Amino acid sequence: MLTHAQVWAAVDRLAERAGLSASGLAKRAGLDPTTFNKSKRVTTAGRARWPSTESISKALAASGTTFRAFVDLVEGNNTVASHGVPLLGFAEAGAGGYFDDGGFPAGEGWDEIAFPALNDEHVYALEVSGQSMEPTYRDGNVIILSPAAPIRRGDRVVVKTRSGEVMAKELKRQTAKSIELKSLNTDHPDRTLAMSDVVLMARILWSSQ
């Protein structure tokens, strides 16, 4: 039997797997930030309130999670099916030969890590090096990227330029000709790049802590 508590616990696990709070997951999904808050799970009259199928669908899309994986979370199984994800060091990502023209992993030199199955076969991982992205991402953290995921203002992204520079930033604005990026570390300046100088931009779906 499917219970109210099971479904909401699965939403909380989904947010945790994405490195977000419940409100952060709702915001990432384009929903009202309070959609998944605990205060919204029971009405003022004390009746159980269930998340809508639309909100669940949007949360799954935003976190890159399959419905099958969500069912596992509903059933209390945090060890959902996993598959190998290509892993590369941040420094190596700036060199040539590791990505194809579409920004997808290519060539030799990739390691591999196990990660819960996502609905994006092109996801890959980078291992952070250095302190330029602190405190958001620290040296040794692993971030999961999707070159195919839609990117919206406020999303954290990894950008690679034609000169081989690789950076993790927050997308402030994007036009047909340029992108504006907010630095995750206040000691480093924000950047504005011409789109002609950008060879890939991928959304960060998850990070280890």
102/19 same-domain check? no
Residue 82 clears pLDDT 60, i.e. is over it: no
The reply to whether 105 and 145 lie within a common domain is yes
- 184 in the same domain as 87: yes
Q: What is the CATH classification number for the domain harbouring 8?
A: 1.10.260.40
Residues 87 and 180 in one domain: yes
Orientation of helix 4-17 relative to helix 67-74, angle to 10° = 120
Per-residue pLDDT at 81 = 53
Residue ranges of the alpha helices (H) in the chain?
4-17, 22-28, 53-63, 67-74, 90-93
The tally of domains found in the chain comes to 2
10-24, 63-77, 142-156, 183-197: lowest mean pLDDT where?
63-77
| Domain limits for position 64 | 4-74
For 176-196, the pLDDT digits (tens) are 999 999 999 888 999 999 999
Q: Do residues 169 and 103 both lie within one domain?
A: yes
Across 40-62, b (16+ Cβ under 10 Å) vs e yields: ebeeeeeeeeebeeebbebbbeb
Q: How confident is the model at residue 113, as a pLDDT?
A: 72
Last residue of a domain, one of 42, 74, 106: 74
For the cut 80, the answer to whether the pLDDT of residue 19 exceeds it is: no
Residue 120 confidence (pLDDT) above 60:
yes
| Same domain, yes or no: 63 and 98 | no
Asked if 14 and 92 sit in the same domain, the reply is no
Domain finish residue from 44, 74, 104: 74
Block residue for tokens 């280890």: 208
Cα separation, 169 vs 180, whole angstroms: 9
Residue 181 is predicted with a pLDDT of 96
Domain closes at, from 12, 42, 74: 74
Q: Are residues 189 and 98 part of one domain?
A: yes
